Amino acid sequence: MNKTIYFIANWKMNGNHNSIREIEKVFDFFKKNTINKFKKIIFCPPSNLLSSFSTKIKSKLIDFGTQDISKINLNYGPHTGQLSAKILKDSGANYVIIGHSEKRLIDEDFKTIKEKINIALKNKLKIIFCIGENLSQKKMGLALKVLKKQILSSLDTKRINAKNLIIAYEPIWSIGTGIVPSNNYLDKIFINLKKFLKEKYNVNSPILLYGGSVTADNVSILRNISLISGFLIGGASLKSKSFIKIIKNYFK
Ligand code: PEP
């Protein structure tokens, strides 16, 4: 069976109004090429760009997500600096990244992550939930323990299913470092995650992504990991050329 492969662009704190050109080039590429149709492209630009980008690019081929969401369970209100699920949905987001290690470092603890996930789901935003161990946890052999704790402390059994949740495994030691885990390491992680999600959440076919220094070169190796349904891509998603090359190489 052909499964959908996700290519999610996490632009982080990058981009301006001219960056729409990069998305347009990706869009043009798909219009001209009959590359494997079982793919889903999601751009997550900074939220100030979301509305204009999603208004300009109206296509089933390209979707949009946000990199954050308020934990306040209201549509509108006197909450300076907050963007509610409703505001983000109205700006064109259908997905939201939650639990990214860069956000965990600043202001996302387990409780906040859980609150954000539940508010997003209530508002029909799909979750891109990031989990990952740091280097010392990896060295101590604690990776799976850390991942399971991150999942259990954030995902509510009653709300989660295979359609509203994407899990992106992003080892912190791999993000932006150019270091990518071996396929053996990733195979072991993904086999265990799948088993765990079945046991605890009764999710049979979870959408599991890998993220961390993905490039056009290493995607040809990473694509051999059968449980991976795609990638969360930071640096290499900023320019259409490198992003398109990743997608091309995946389907080569
Ligand atoms: C990320 O931060 O989500 C990420 C995967 O970044 P990079 O691809 O730059 O390592």
Supply the CATH number for residue 215's domain: 3.20.20.70
Of all protein residues, whose CA lies closest to atom 8 belonging to ligand 1?
A: 234
* Residue 10 alpha carbon, nearest atom of ligand 1: 3
pLDDT at site 158: 84
pLDDT at 125: 97
Catalytic: 100? yes
Contact 19 CB / ligand 1 (< 6 Å) = no
Residue-level pLDDT at 36: 74
How far is the C-alpha of 153 from the C-alpha of 165, rounded, in Å? Answer: 15
Catalytic residue among 22, 108, 133, 170: 170
Q: Could you list the pLDDT tens digit for every one of the 252 residues in the chain?
A: 579 999 999 999 999 999 999 999 999 998 888 777 789 999 999 999 999 999 999 888 899 999 999 999 999 999 999 999 999 999 999 999 999 999 999 999 999 999 999 999 999 999 999 999 999 999 999 999 999 999 999 998 888 888 899 999 999 999 999 999 999 999 999 999 999 999 999 999 999 999 999 999 999 999 999 999 999 999 999 999 999 999 999 999
**C-beta atoms surrounding 4 within 10 Å:** 11
Amino acid identity for residue 165 in this structure: L
Spacing, Cα 75 to ligand 1 middle (Å)? 30
Establish whether 170 is a catalytic residue.
yes
What is the model's pLDDT at position 82? 98
Q: For residue 130, give the ligand 1 atom closest to its CA.
A: 3
Q: Give exposure, 210-243, as e/b (b: 16+ Cβ within 10 Å).
A: bbbbbbbebbeebbebeebbbbbbbbbbbebebb
Ligand 1 binding pocket includes 97 (Cβ within 6 Å): no
- Tell me whether residue 58 is exposed, middle or buried, using C-beta atoms within 10 angstroms of its C-beta: 0 to 12, 13 to 18, 19 or more: exposed
H helix count then E strand count, the chain: 10, 8
Spatial CA neighbour of 193 closest among 164, 225, 159, 233: 225
Domain count, the chain: 1
Closest ligand 1 atom to 101 CA: 2
Domain that holds residue 220: 5-251
Which residue has the least CA distance to atom 7 on ligand 1? Answer: 234
The pLDDT of residue 37 is: 77
How confident is the model at residue 1, as a pLDDT?
Answer: 58
